[in-house]
Structure 1
């Protein structure tokens, strides 16, 4: 996997991101990740819907938990939008967290097996084999409408900017 030019830090220290970095306006690369039931799920399974991909390093951190709670809350208000929550956490950890928190409006997907999402969207942290934090919005036409690589991984994404784009696509 090639290094990309996205500059991010983790607790103030620079990290290296691997993978391609698609641009706004490009067709969203299809990817496969595992569902909570260990079944392969593809982005193309959500064809014809607006898709929000919430990317985070690990569900077992406070910022990642807050990010998932927020997108779950927003998903309840966004009719016809699929909110896909992607990390390299095992599906069991994702399921446990969602069950404990009562999060049922997001779809958790694990990229742990192949790093297919991370490699195709440029979110793989080389030093940690985790995904960087960010958000990708994909329109019904399967074009990327918004992409954020959060500059400091320990901070939350720009929810307002992402949600503004998503709401305009509904």
Structure 2
């Protein structure tokens, strides 16, 4: 498992760490309208999955805004942001922030995504920060588990991986 810290303190991460080449595991999260969203929804598409602890924090806000800005120039690439924020809070935040190119999804119900992708911070019931790029065949083409949950991911590397596949 990845060694991840939160504000400098080691945390326990639940789930299996993914590697490039792995098949993207199934998961069930909620869209902002409470409809289910699973890995089936991204099959056949290049997808960036940006994972954040909570949209209501500075780094998570900046990460989601950055991917929203970049999404405008990513032809053939979908961008998702997954957190444990409630779908209602995600919808409110997106409206206030003008987020219109990234789809936010909530893993609050049973941490299905977090467990499947090795991201559940046991002590906080939050997801660790990470970025995945899933190719058209449903395989993990890029993965970054951010070692300090309050740091930014490597945006350029994730974007380059997605552009290469599109």
Same fold (TM over 0.5): yes
Alignment of 1:90 onto 2:91: no
Q: How many pairs does the alignment contain?
A: 166
Deviation, structure 1 residue 110 = 0.1
Q: Deviations over 1:119-144 (max 9, x none)?
A: 00000001000000010110001110
Counterpart for residue 53 of structure 1? 49
From 96, 109, 114, the counterpart of 1:100:
96
> 105, 109, 116: which is aligned to 2:105?
109
Give 1:47 deviation, angstroms: 1.3
Post-superposition Cα deviations, 1:96-117, rounded to whole Å, max 9, x if no partner, equal 1110011110010000001110
SS at match of 1:6: coil
DSSP-derived class of the 1:54 partner: strand
Correspondence for 2:58 = 62
TM-score w.r.t. the length of structure 2 is 0.98
Tell me the SS of whatever aligns to 1:163: helix
Query: Are 2:132 and 1:136 aligned?
Result: yes
- Whether 1:120 and 2:116 are equivalent positions in the alignment is yes
SS of alignment partner, residue 108 of structure 1: strand
Partner residue of 1:155?
151
SS for the counterpart of 1:29 is: coil
The answer for unaligned runs of 5 or more in structure 2 is: none
The CA deviation string for residues 45-74 of structure 1, in whole angstroms up to 9 with x for no partner, is: 121110100000001101100000001011
Give 1:29 shift. 0.7
Unaligned runs of 5+ in 1: none
Q: How does 1:66-85 map to 2 (within 5 A)?
A: 66-85=62-81
Determine helix, strand or coil for the equivalent of 2:104.
strand
* RMSD, aligned CA: 0.7
